Amino acid sequence: MYMASVDSSQNDGLKSGDCDIDDIFEKLTDKPRCLNMDRQKSFDERSLVEASPSWMENEESFKYGPMYDEAWESLRKSVVQFRGRPVGTIAALDVSDEKLNYDQVFVRDFVPSGLAFLMKGEPEIVKNFLQKTLVLQSGEKRVDRFDLGKGVMPASFKVRHDPVLNKETLAPDFGESAIGRVAPVDSGFWWIILLQAYTKCTNDNSLAESPDCQRGISLILALCLSEGFDTFPTLLCADGCSMIDRRMGVYGYPIEIQALFFMALRCAKSLLKQDAHEELVDRIGKRLEALSFHMRKYFWLDLKQLNDIYRYKTEEYSHTAVNKFNVMPDSLPEWIFDFMPKSGGYFLGNVGPSNMDFRWFCLGNCIAIISSLATPDQSTAIMDLIESRWEELVGEMPLKVCYPAIEGHDWKIITGCDPKNTRWSYHNGGSWPVLLWVLTAASIKVGRPKIAKNAIKIAELRLAKDGWPEYYDGKSGRYIGKQARKHQTWSVAGYVVAKMLLENPTHLSMLAPGADKKIKPPLRKSSSCILFDTNRNTSF
């Protein structure tokens, strides 16, 4: 038996001098107004001894039940073997339609699966996945006659069997087979985040400290931290390089990529050997500081900021300009004025020259909370907005990938008349059950687990009965997606992780991005997560 613990002494937190970076930038950000209601303290403000199931009301309703057991059975069936060892989970078990690439192991899709296995006390599959994708990273990456950067991680891989040689090989896809031929920017970030989760959950530093892993992290960061013509600390990306992997007008500086970038940088800072990577660690610290300031100041939107934009002057020149991106007030969409509550706020979908994408994107905002990119006040405001706009963002099946949908002429121009991303479908305002796990993690961190609890209750009414679809369509998520695969593995894993987080909030510590000094989980054994320490091979 292995024992698990989380090492809270690896890092003292993001710092600038002797001050915590979160404290510095909290003072630089306008504080959003908050709903006047009683709340539990945030996860960061509590010891994990307190953060047991008893800290939530109606604990009885958090019992796992038959649906949870069914989910685990489905998750285990999705496991992919390579040369007799588990290396990941297949994207979907649905055999009713053409498989396309749903029979492959996707890096971003495997993250909730990997977290579920870590929480279950079964780290082998996660370790194998991390090692195999690392090997694929070092292989040849070519699209037509162009070689991709050395640090690019694959979007997915497939196990191929040669009947003649009786040998199995891994065939990666770096974007050369993807729709639009776009490399996955998020894969490298998810890989670093999962490596951090594995290291914290197992207390096994040997994998992260291995030369191969140290080199893999460095190669990923080399792509992101390279010098260029950028005047912003955010990462410039093409459309389709993330979870929204089709043309949806998110080129530029999408919130999902920026939040994942921030979280991966924080994880990498604690994973890299400081003495061997002193210069790189210093560059990470400087980028984090600049990125925090930029995101919290320019990407944040609440009622006060919306009113300021409404009154912007344009064509301002000089360092004293208020409208720094030259955004035209006439470009404000009509829906935003009714959508923005009196108390609440969120990070914009995109900010760039003369461009503000006012759409609300779930993953980016939740990752901003989990990674501490959002200040405590901003985190609270994001949750306030979700509660205030419950019908729009949660509806009958959580959770909207973005809001609102693009329609009419805008849909034609922005999506290129994409027949799969019609209004309120797929990436265009569709509802994705996988997002339950990030919502749950964010809710627990802010100290409002009831938000996640209510969302999970809604999902449990239909998700299993409908066959674990990939996504749902319609304004309220009433209909199974018109092209959604059934038995989608990350829909299953997202539900499992959400349930396990609610049952044992200490699991959230494995997602703390390496430097959260306030999270000090106790060494204890729970019924849902076998605690293990691979360095000592002893049990409590």
d(CA 393, CA 429): 9
Burial class (CB in 10 A: 0-12, 13-18, 19+), 17: exposed
Cα–Cα distance list, 286 to 17, 190, 233, 258, 280 (Å): 12, 21, 10, 15, 10
Identity at 319, one-letter amino acid code: H
d(CA 381, CA 478): 27
Residue 305 near residue 32, CB atoms below 8 Å:
no
What ranges do the domains of the chain cover?
Answer: 61-510
pLDDT, residue 101, reads 82
pLDDT, residue 239, reads 94
Closest listed residue to residue 471, CA positions, set 458, 486, 460, 452: 486
Q: Which two tokens stand for residue 483?
A: 């092209």
Q: Which two tokens stand for residue 388?
A: 């205030």
Identity at 143, one-letter amino acid code: V
CB neighbour list of residue 536: distance below 8 Å, 6 or more residues apart: 3
Angle at 526 between CA 524 and CA 530, to 5 degrees: 90
Question: What Rg, from alpha-carbon coordinates, does the chain have?
Answer: 22
Phi, psi of 117 (to 5 degrees): -70, -35
Residue 295 near residue 347, CB atoms below 8 Å:
yes
Q: Which residue in this structure is represented by tokens 């090692």?
A: 131
Which secondary structure element, helix H or strand E, spans residue 15, and what is its range? strand 15-16
Per DSSP, what are the bridge partners of residue 352?
355
Residue 453 near residue 61, CB atoms below 8 Å:
yes
Write a three-state SS string for 154-167. CCEEEEEEECCCCE
pLDDT, residue 43, reads 54
DSSP 105-129: EEHHHHHHHHHHHHHTT--HHHHHH
In 394-505, where does DSSP find H-type helix?
Answer: 408-415, 436-446, 449-460, 489-503
Number of H helices, E strands in the chain: 17, 17
CA 150 to chain centre: 23
By three-state DSSP, how is residue 42 classified? coil
pLDDT, residue 40, reads 55
Topology of 61-510 in CATH? Glycosyltransferase (1.50.10)
pLDDT per residue of the chain (540 residues) written in tens, 0 to 9: 333 433 433 344 444 444 444 443 344 334 333 333 345 555 554 444 344 444 444 444 456 889 999 999 999 999 999 999 999 999 999 876 666 789 999 999 999 999 999 999 999 999 999 999 999 998 888 888 888 899 999 999 999 998 888 899 999 999 888 787 888 999 999 999 999 999 999 999 999 999 999 999 999 999 999 988 989 999 999 999 999 999 999 999 999 999 999 999 999 999 999 888 999 999 999 999 999 999 999 999 999 999 999 999 888 888 888 888 889 999 999 999 999 999 999 999 999 999 999 999 999 999 999 999 999 999 999 999 999 999 999 999 999 999 999 999 999 999 999 999 999 999 999 999 999 999 999 999 999 999 999 999 999 999 999 999 999 999 999 999 999 999 999 999 999 999 999 999 999 999 988 544 443 333 333 333 433 333 333 322
Q: Which two tokens stand for residue 414?
A: 């922005």
pLDDT, residue 536, reads 34
pLDDT, residue 94, reads 82
pLDDT, residue 319, reads 82
Per DSSP, what are the bridge partners of residue 480?
472
pLDDT, residue 34, reads 37
Crossing angle for the helix pair 255-271 and 362-370, nearest 10 degrees? 30
Closest listed residue to residue 352, CA positions, set 178, 449, 234: 234
pLDDT, residue 12, reads 40
pLDDT, residue 514, reads 56
Q: Which residue in this structure is represented by tokens 């996707």?
A: 106
Residue 354 near residue 325, CB atoms below 8 Å:
yes
pLDDT, residue 416, reads 95
Closest listed residue to residue 488, CA positions, set 112, 171, 181: 112
Predicted TM-score (pTM) of the model is: 0.85
3-state helix, strand, coil in the chain (%, to 5): 40, 10, 45
pLDDT, residue 425, reads 98
pLDDT, residue 137, reads 95
